Amino acid sequence: MERDDPAYKGQADYTPLLLRLYDPLVLGPIARFVWRVPTSELPKGYREHIREPHLDVGPGTGYFIDRSGLPDGSRVTILDPNPNVLRHASRRLQRLDVTAVQADVLKPLPVKGPFASAALHAVLHCLPGPMERKAKAVSNVASVLQPDGVLFGMSVLGKSGNHTWLARRFLQTFNRRGAFDNLDDSEQSLREILEASFGQVQMSTIGSIAVFTATNPRR
Ligand SMILES: C[S@@+](CC[C@H](N)C(=O)[O-])C[C@H]1O[C@@H](n2cnc3c(N)ncnc32)[C@H](O)[C@@H]1O
């Protein structure tokens, strides 16, 4: 991805070093003590909703796909602009039939669908705002889902979220750095962009994050 692309900063931090530290640090103490999401809650969306063939946008280390319960050999497409992410996750997920696609979810998706499920898990808060721009990611995913397909995921909320003092410090720091661009992301605006592309949307909040499931993709 070009440095002057508005989405560049949201994916630039995922170096091989950060990817090695990601599970023990980001999915451990940061999820638990900063965003207040119990570790046991994290893989639930994957276990409940993932189906083959699955599209995973922004797979990170591949932790959740690995723990989703998908049987060996299941077809999974991972899509990310960052080649370090694609390499790391592909290595981890060797027991699955993985197709790695280097692409930006905000642009038309160069993938072979349709998919039975798709995840935008901890990705929307990394995309450049405003929400109207992030809506493109949701509609791009909706357009490659089967009519009975499901989109699921979660995102850290912006200023309006139910944050602790510590969470607000992290939010400010990550936004200043550009790794997050989500200060104006609210539950309401997230629901709106999901409802623009899906007939049915379910959302709930845990600590600082919103968890969502969307079905009946609109064409
Ligand atoms: C916070 S990590 C989440 C990783 C994983 N889904 C999880 O829940 O642990 C954000 C992921 O989104 C990817 N990402 C950031 N911007 C993106 C974009 N424009 N298109 C697709 N993926 C993007 C990053 O490279 C990274 O893999």
**What pLDDT band is residue 209 in, cutting at 50, 70 and 90?**
very high
Number of residues that make up the chain? 219
Pocket test for ligand 1, best of 37, 107, 123 (most atoms within 8 A of CB): 123
pLDDT tens readout for residues 128-153: 999 999 999 999 999 999 999 999 99
CA dihedral 31, 35, 38, 40 (to 10 degrees): -50
pLDDT tens readout for residues 56-73: 999 999 999 999 999 999
DSSP three-state, residue 41:
helix
- The token pair at 30 is 């940061």
Question: What CATH class does 8-217 carry?
Answer: alpha beta
DSSP three-state, residue 115:
strand
Phi, psi of 42 (to 5 degrees): -60, -50
- Any ligand 1 atom below 6 A from CB of 59: yes
26 Cα–ligand 1 center, Å: 13
Place of tokens 């602790």: 164
Mean pLDDT of 107-117: 96
pLDDT tens readout for residues 32-41: 999 999 878 8
| CB contact set of 178 (below 8 Å; sequence gap of 6+) | 9, 10, 12
- Any ligand 1 atom below 6 A from CB of 7: yes
Place of tokens 């509609």: 139
DSSP three-state, residue 119:
strand
pTM score: 0.97
162 Cα–ligand 1 center, Å: 23
> What is each CA distance from 138 to 96, 160, 213, in whole angstroms?
25, 21, 12
**What pLDDT band is residue 113 in, cutting at 50, 70 and 90?**
confident
Give, using CA atoms, the residue closest to atom 13 of ligand 1. Answer: 58
Structural domain boundaries of the chain? Answer: 8-217
- Any ligand 1 atom below 6 A from CB of 55: no
